[in-house]
Structure 1
């Protein structure tokens, strides 16, 4: 009985199980081939080694098709052959967190708030405000952002000068 398989054969069994380095839980266990498939020799050697089984394909498939299934021993081998999972990036952690806020807020960045003027003389105007700076009241959000950035830059220059 073969205890080692080539990388290609391991790849075939991983494909049959539907696993890869990002998806580590098998969700299927079959590999359907036709009679002249280029991987038949590798699949048959895996059957001989006890890492896969084979049977005739269901009747809705073409004559001569074969279905291969990975055995428990093969499953253990190919899962062990998967590379260690990569460390998640902070953005991937954010996506998995189901946090409900923006990425900047999840990182702890104090995002400026947009204020909407509803009283005279700022009725219908906008400004951006944070604990670091407050922009001027402007007619558009784009102008309000430019004003906020200008005030923020001036605030930063002032802090660095002190």
Structure 2
């Protein structure tokens, strides 16, 4: 009976029922098509094989419109011919954080005590003999403030301090750390 259904007609059945590979329960069952609709011939073909039927046109529609619905046999056929559902998406750290309900910021959730920090101090400028504010970025090994595990060099701007920290971090990872 339904062996001559084209892939496009099967797609019309899926669309009419609101089916997708990841949504296998129908949530609607209607298709409204006017006399000049591009899909009218395919809808009529589905009616002729018993997978769709015509319904009365509601008064709020144009009287020339035709309303189609999927029959029980059409629904079974459409569900049985859905492509397999895609695998669920890989769980992300952000999704884990949302479910953890720890009260931590996302940054603190990811990095914990390993979050890098800035430290600023008045230091003598290189070659100028003048003191000016310098920055250093570092990361502690433990909650102890005195033992930075990775630290960049003192630099006159935070941007330079961050670049120095990243270079130190890269060098540490290159040695077989983390």
Q: Give your verdict on TM over 0.5.
A: yes
Q: Contact conserved, 2:121 with 2:135, CA < 8 A, in 1?
A: no
Is the radius of gyration larger for structure 1 or structure 2?
A: 2
How many angstroms apart in 2 are the aligned matches of 1:152 and 1:38? 62
Q: Contact conserved, 1:127 with 1:144, CA < 8 A, in 2?
A: yes
Q: Does 1:113 align with 2:144?
A: no
Root-mean-square deviation (CA, aligned residues, Å) is 3.6
Q: TM-score with structure 2 length normalisation?
A: 0.64
Q: TM-score with structure 1 length normalisation?
A: 0.69
Q: Once the two structures are superposed, what CA deviation does each residue of 1:71-127 show, in whole Å capped at 9, x if it has no partner?
A: 23212211222221233443xx3299463247x94xxx889513254x866999562
Number of residue pairs the alignment of both structures matches: 152
How many angstroms apart in 2 are the aligned matches of 1:10 and 1:80? 11
Q: Flag the 1:76–1:115 CA change in 2: closer, same or farther, 3 A.
A: same
Q: Which residue of the partner structure matches residue 127 of structure 2?
A: none
Q: Which residue of the partner structure matches residue 39 of structure 1?
A: 39
Q: Which residue of the partner structure matches residue 149 of structure 1?
A: 166
Q: Which residue of the partner structure matches residue 2 of structure 2?
A: 3
| 1:139, distance to aligned residue in structure 2 (A) | 6.2
How many angstroms apart in 1 are the aligned matches of 2:97 and 2:76? 35
Structure 1 residues without counterparts, runs of 5 or longer:
none
| 1:33, distance to aligned residue in structure 2 (A) | 0.2
How many angstroms apart in 2 are the aligned matches of 1:61 and 1:41? 20
Q: Flag the 1:128–1:67 CA change in 2: closer, same or farther, 3 A.
A: farther
Structure 2 residues without counterparts, runs of 5 or longer:
99-105, 124-132, 142-148
